[in-house]
Each structure stands twice: as C-alpha cells, then as structure tokens.
Chain A
Amino acid sequence: MFSYLVRRCVYGALILLGVNLLTFFLFFTVNTPDDMARLNIGGKHITQDLIDKWKLERGYDKPLYLNDAKQGTERITDTIFWERSVSLFELKFGRSDAESAGDIGPEVARRMGVSVRLALPLFVLQVIASTAFALLLVMFRHTRLDFWGVVTCVLMLSISSLIYIIVGQFTFSRLLRVAPISGYEPGWDVVKFLALPIALSLLARLGTEARLYRAMFLEEIGKDYVRTARAKGLSETVVLFRHVLRNALLPIVTSAGSYLPYVFLGSLVFESFFALPGLGAYVIDAITKQDFAVVRTMVFVGSLLYIATFVLIDVAYTWVDPRVRLG
C-alpha cells in the first residue's frame, strides 16, 4: 500500500506539472504580460514605461520560456515560467495583480477557513441526507412513494441553484425574517449566517444525488447475495442496512468524494450570494477585477486539492471494501 501511495503521489506531481504548464500557457502565451498590463492599468494614455514598471513590480519583466541573454542553466531558470512554476510548487503564490491587494498566500489560507466552515457541514449533511432519501425510496420501491419521490428528484434537479438561492433568500430573509440576508461574523454567531446557505445548497443538490444513490442501491439489490440474504429469512431492513448499504458504499464514496475538493474551494455562487468571505467569493472578485494572478493560483490550488482527494478516495476504498488492495 505504501509503495502504491508513493506511486500515486509521483503521478500526482506529474499531473500538477501538466496543470502548471497548461495554466502558464493560458495566462502568459494566449495574452502576453504586455496585454495584461494594458488591461490592468486601464485608461487611454498607456506608455511603454508604465507597462514596464507594472511588469517589474510583479516580476513579469523576463522572457516567457527561454532567456537568450543568459548562459547555461540560467537560460531556463531566469524566465517567468521557471520562477512562477517553482514558486507555485513551494506554495508561494506571490502578490496579486491588483494595485492595492497584497500577498495571495495568507489571503488564501484565511479564506479557506471560511469556506471549510460552510462546506464541511454541508458535505457531511449532503451525504447523510441523500443516502437517507435514496434508502427511503428504495425501501418503498415499486410504490407510489418511490414513483413520486423520483418525480420530485427530477423536478428538483431541473431547477438552477440560482433559483433556490433567490427564492430561499426572499422567503427566509425578507418575508419570514428568520435569517440574515447575507454577511459573516467569526465565532459562534457564524451559525446564523451559514444555516440558510447550507440548507439551500443541500436542497439544490439533493435531487441529483438522491437519484444517483437510488440507482446504485437498486443495482446492488439485484445481485445474488441479496437474494441469498432474503432466502435466509433476514428482514428487509437488515438486508437493506447491513448488506446493500455496505456494498453500495463504494460507488457512494467515489461520487461523494468528487465533491471533497470543493469543501476547501468553497462554492462560488453560494459564497458570493451570501457575502461569505471564502475562496469562492475570492475567485469571483478576481474574475470581475480581472486579477489573473489570483485566478492562476486558484487553478493550481484547486487541482492540488483534487489530486489529494483522489489519493484519499483510494485509501477510503480499502477501508470501505476490504477486498480492495492497493498494490
């Protein structure tokens, strides 16, 4: 298992290298630093001096991939690509492109805390709620409850998450006044601000998840061991909870695990609608301000989390299903 993990991590590093290459190409070659400087400085009278100063302040004043002016290894190391890549892998994200904003690293760490506060309870509740709802439907399969349950799921997954937010904010914050419309406070008061976004986010994804889990459970129920269990005279509840649930966990872990990166990255839409100062809101701010350094960093952080998650999921497999051996 250890050697497997090492191999996975090496492959992960390779992937990260690819991501780095891709983002660098996107952010520096499709549009050169000069273009970004012009866009960021704005206004009509942009002189080359201003552009050069802007580039120098942010360390964009070197050649992109190859420095012909230098000799030996410096030809490669004294370039934007090398410096940016190395600093990303050291998790030093540098300063943001915006004039007033400071260093990206501490900002990301601070905001990640907020995002986790929103997304971790959401993640746990999501898995519990979807599994419970799906199990309920499976328990009453081929009845009206199952039929209308699935109809509700299809209806729910046809509604955009924006609609859930707008309706939810309107009813609970404006009409009923039970939750603040938006905002954030550190400490225990945060519950008040997080309750509504968590509930709405849960609702917005319940349809998709519950339908998926239901299909997974039904797939398991058709298998031979379930028939054997029933033939032994086990009750339906025992069959469902002890046999089917246990075996359906594997696909559920995969499906739920793919949401894990977002526990740290936060939800772009929910955070910005409810004015929570998390990473999602950070990205949206960066997009509206066209702060490319921040977007670039977030792409890197995002894929780092994604790769880490998938190693974690692999480990979780061995715990969920003893037959799976990593080797």
Chain B
Amino acid sequence: MISMMPKFVLLWTDATTWALILCVLAYAVAVSRSPNLKASWRKVFREAPALCSSLILGLCLLITATDSVHYRNALPHVPGMPAGAVAYDSVTRSGLDWLLSGLIDSREDTYSRPLDYLSYRRDTVSINGQLQRVSPRLKHGGAHLSDPEHQWAADLTSRVGTGLALGLLLAVACAAALFAALARAREARFLDTAASVWRKEGDIPWRAGLWTLVAMAMLIGVVLSLMGAYHVFGTDTTGNDVLYQSLKCIRTAFVIGSLSTIATLPLAVVLGIMAGYFRGWVDELIQYFYTVLSSVPNILLIAACVLMMQVFLDKHPDLFETGVERSDVKLALLCAVLGLTGWPSLCRLLRAETMKLRELDYVQAANAFGVSSSRIMVRHIFPNVAHLMLIVTVLDFSSLILYEAVLSYVGVGVDPSMNSFGGMLNLARKEMSLDPVVWWSFCAAFGFMVTVVLAVNLFADGVRDAFDPRARAFRPRLPISRKPVASNQEA
C-alpha cells in the first residue's frame, strides 16, 4: 500500500514567516517575565483602538499562518509507474487553499456580480424566434436554486440570518469565556465582572474589544454561510472567486510588511550602534554608506534592484520546480531588496540615540571597569535602543503594505501570478472602465486593504505612544473624557 500522504513544501517565505512567529512567541514569553516590558505592553492595550485593531491583526495573522503551510498532493498510482514511487501534483497548495477548496473549485467562466446567480456575460439566444441578449446562469453561484427569480431573495435572507445568529453565538461564547477568565483573575463573581466590563471599569477597554469581536464574528458568520452557495464578492475575469483572492492577498501583504522590516534590522542595528559608539572614521564610513543609499530616490533604487533580480531569475529557470516556488523566491528577494534599501532611516535614528547614550554615566562606568566595547554595545546600549527598533518596525509595516501596491503597479512588485492587493488594484483599473462597471474586485481590494492598513496603523500608534512617552502628548483628546479614559491620561 503506497501512502497517499501529501508532500510538504517549505517555501522560503514560509520558513521565515514561521521563524518570525516563533520569535514573536519568544518575545511574548520575555515580556511576561520582565515587569518593565509588561507594563509598557499593558499601556498599549489600554488604548481602545490598539486593542480592537490587535484583534483584527490576530485574525489576519491566523490567515497568514494557515496560508504559510504548503503541500503538494500525491497523485493516484498509475499502472506504468514502478512500485513504491509516488508522483506529486505540480500544483502547490496551502492550508488556506485546503480550507477554501470549495471556493477554488467553484470557478465560473468570467465576471459575475457579488451574490448573483447570473453571469456578467450576455449571450445572444433566440427565444420564440426573436434574438435576445440573456445572461446565462452561473455554474456554481446560486446553482441550488430551481427558480432563482423568486427564491433568491428569500434564500439570501435566510442565509444571512443564520450567519448572523451563528456569529452572535460565537461572540457570546467568547465574551463568556473572557468574563469567566476576568472573574477568576479578579476573584469576583461572573455577573459582577460582566457588569463592570459593561460600565467600562478597569484600565483595559474590554467593552470596545468585545464590540469589535461581535462585529467580526457576525461578519465572518455571514460570509461563511453565504460562501458555500454564492460568490460573496463576485468573480474576476477568469471566473475566480474574489473573496478567495482577497484572503490570499493578506498573506502577501503581511509577508512583505514583516519580512522587509525584519530585513532592515541587522544592518541598521549593527551599523547604527557602531557608528554612534565608535565615532571617528567608523562613523564617517557608515554615514557615507547610508547617505549614498538614501540619496538614490527609493523607488528608483528598488526598481533597479528588482529588475536585476528578475534578469537573474530569468537566466536560471531551472532552479525552481513549480511556479509557486518561483514566485515565492521572487517575493523573498523583493523583501530582501526592500530591507537592503530601507535600513538608512533606522540606522540614522539608532546612531543618534547611541551617541546620546554613550555619554551617560552607566556606560562611562562600564567603560571605566574595563568592559569591552562589544560587550557594552550588546549589554548596555542595545537594550536601551530596542524600543526604537520596535516602534520603527511597527510604523514601517503599514507603509510597506501600501508601497507594495505601488511597486506592483510600476511592475517591480510581486510576481503577477501571486495574489496581492497591488495586483488586484492594477486589474481593477481596467475593470472600472468596462461597461457595465466591474466594481466588485476593486471594492473588495479596497475594503480588505484599508482594514488591514488601518488596523496596523492604529496598533502602531498605540505601540509608539506606549514606548515613546514623548509621542503621547500629540494624541488628540476629546474635551469630555469619560471616567476610565481620564485615568490613563497623565501625559
């Protein structure tokens, strides 16, 4: 018996994404052990926007993680093949593809409107001897309806209703779990805890978080219940489901946002601290390096690097087994290019901060005790500039997601075969000039992209305010601040 186990494929970005998730987990453990870090992170979650957006980001991270497990299915045994040998499908799929296989299989011929049962295309058919332009039924969307004109609205309503109810049920279960956990931590009664959360007592804005959770759960419920029978966001020019594409874009955006910022760190941190600590010719040399890099307009430098990378990949087509592997290497290299061109700004910042720190007494004392320079930099300087690293990393994240769209438009972004927000917007440009307008792809990309970027921005603002006390002064405040909000506005 030959096992039909799929073959797991570890792509470059998969490996790095998982390594990153492990690093974040390790950091979380470190935070829970350090009272200082814990207090700072508590400050982050005391802001309602940061808490709510962290929930959305958590969901996106979950999607990214499931989309970062790739495998190739084993093909059934063919008589001519030698025993024991297994052939694998040439298509690489991910965990998310497996979960959404219904959406992949329900491919239509061409465009179709969201939730529609008719195609966008119109065929000329002769009805009773007269030629008429009629939209054909879709192969999958609404295919279960025998008399769509009368059943459609009722079917939709019932499905939306079920979805909302299921979502609400899920949200209530989550809320109950939260209340129970809080009640245990505070050693209070369950109902008292619920009431105090409702009255917005305590420093963490649980109520706002719960409302976000309810909204998210209900939205997911509706989408899930509609997804099986309709194309929730319609289909694109080749008939692929737009919802599926949008979900796949989340991984691309997250990989670009995280890997590129991570790629800037080693150079920026090492060179920045060295320049600030050693001064003199080391400083001059490093400054020269980053001034050269930053004096080329960013987009031109990236375009030049990516072009050269593409030529290199075109020259070696034999390096990759499947198309997915190829586009994945392109994505990884794009992140590396973004990282290598993006380090000067952080480096400059770290250099300035190190120059300040090295004059402080504790560094001078360490110096007087004969601690070696490398040890001072690692033990005394690095931990004190680490918060800058964190702030810049989260702040850059969203701008990189936005940048990806521009790069894809310019033609130096991710591989066209890979789903990305930039690619979707690029196609949307042509679709918006069709008649009748094909607006759904654009709206889906718009909605998903704005949600993700806004969530990242709000979270980043929260992190910056918590770790950089100076920034708190610029937070807009409402004149009538309600009670729990007032308690944390010492700034």
**A interface with B by C-beta (< 8 Å):** 14-15, 18-19, 22-23, 26-27, 30-31, 35-36, 39, 137, 141-144, 146-147, 149-151, 154-155, 157-163, 166, 169-170, 174, 214-215, 218-219, 222, 261-262, 265, 268-269, 272-273, 283-284, 287-288, 290, 292, 295-296, 298-299, 302-303, 306-307
Most chain B beta-carbon neighbours within 10 Å: one of A151, A158, A222, A287 = A158
Collect the chain A residues with CB atoms within 8 Å of residue B405's CB: 160, 162
A160–B412 contact, CB under 8 A? no
Collect the chain A residues with CB atoms within 8 Å of residue B461's CB: 154
A142–B300 contact, CB under 8 A? no
Collect the chain A residues with CB atoms within 8 Å of residue B288's CB: 14-15, 18
The CA of A141 and the CA of B305, in the complex, are separated in Å by 45
A33 smallest CB distance to B (angstroms)? 12
Collect the chain A residues with CB atoms within 8 Å of residue B293's CB: 22
The CA of A124 and the CA of B398, in the complex, are separated in Å by 27
B296–A299 contact, CB under 8 A? yes
B378 smallest CB distance to A (angstroms)? 30
The CA of A169 and the CA of B442, in the complex, are separated in Å by 13
B254 smallest CB distance to A (angstroms)? 16
Nearest residue (CB) in B for A285 is B411
13 further interface pairs, Cβ-Cβ under 8 Å (given A22-B296, A166-B429):
A14-B288, A150-B476, A158-B398, A166-B425, A219-B474, A265-B297, A283-B410, A287-B411, A295-B300, A299-B297, A299-B304, A306-B295, A307-B295
B314–A268 contact, CB under 8 A? no
Q: Which of B428-477 contact A (CB under 8 A)?
A: 428-429, 432-433, 437, 442, 446, 449-450, 453-454, 457-458, 461, 471, 473-474, 476-477
- On whether A158 and B457 interact (CB within 8 A), knowing A269-B406, A295-B304, A299-B304, the answer reads yes
Collect the chain A residues with CB atoms within 8 Å of residue B432's CB: 166, 169-170, 174
The CA of A219 and the CA of B288, in the complex, are separated in Å by 31
B421: CB under 8 A from chain A?
yes
Collect the chain A residues with CB atoms within 8 Å of residue B422's CB: 162
Nearest residue (CB) in A for B453 is A158
B297–A215 contact, CB under 8 A? no
How many residues of chain B get a CB closer than 8 Å to chain A's CBs? 53
B281: CB under 8 A from chain A?
no
The CA of A268 and the CA of B410, in the complex, are separated in Å by 7
Dominant SS at the B interface? helix
The CA of A98 and the CA of B478, in the complex, are separated in Å by 59
Total A-B residue pairs with C-beta atoms closer than 8 Å? 151
The CA of A36 and the CA of B312, in the complex, are separated in Å by 10
Collect the chain B residues with CB atoms within 8 Å of residue A284's CB: 410-411
Residue in contact with A218 in the complex, picked from B412, B421, B474, CB distance below 8 Å: B474
B379: CB under 8 A from chain A?
no
User: 21 A-B contacts, Cβ less than 8 Å apart?
Assistant: A15-B288, A15-B291, A18-B289, A23-B296, A23-B304, A36-B311, A142-B478, A142-B479, A144-B478, A149-B476, A160-B421, A160-B425, A161-B402, A162-B422, A222-B473, A265-B300, A268-B410, A284-B410, A287-B303, A287-B307, A287-B410
A30–B312 contact, CB under 8 A? yes
B49 smallest CB distance to A (angstroms)? 9
**B interface with A by C-beta (< 8 Å):** 288-289, 291-293, 295-297, 299-301, 303-305, 307-308, 311-312, 314-315, 398, 402, 405-406, 409-412, 421-422, 425-426, 428-429, 432-433, 437, 442, 446, 449-450, 453-454, 457-458, 461, 471, 473-474, 476-479
Collect the chain B residues with CB atoms within 8 Å of residue A22's CB: 292-293, 296
- On whether A154 and B454 interact (CB within 8 A), knowing A166-B432, A287-B412, the answer reads yes
Collect the chain B residues with CB atoms within 8 Å of residue A214's CB: 474
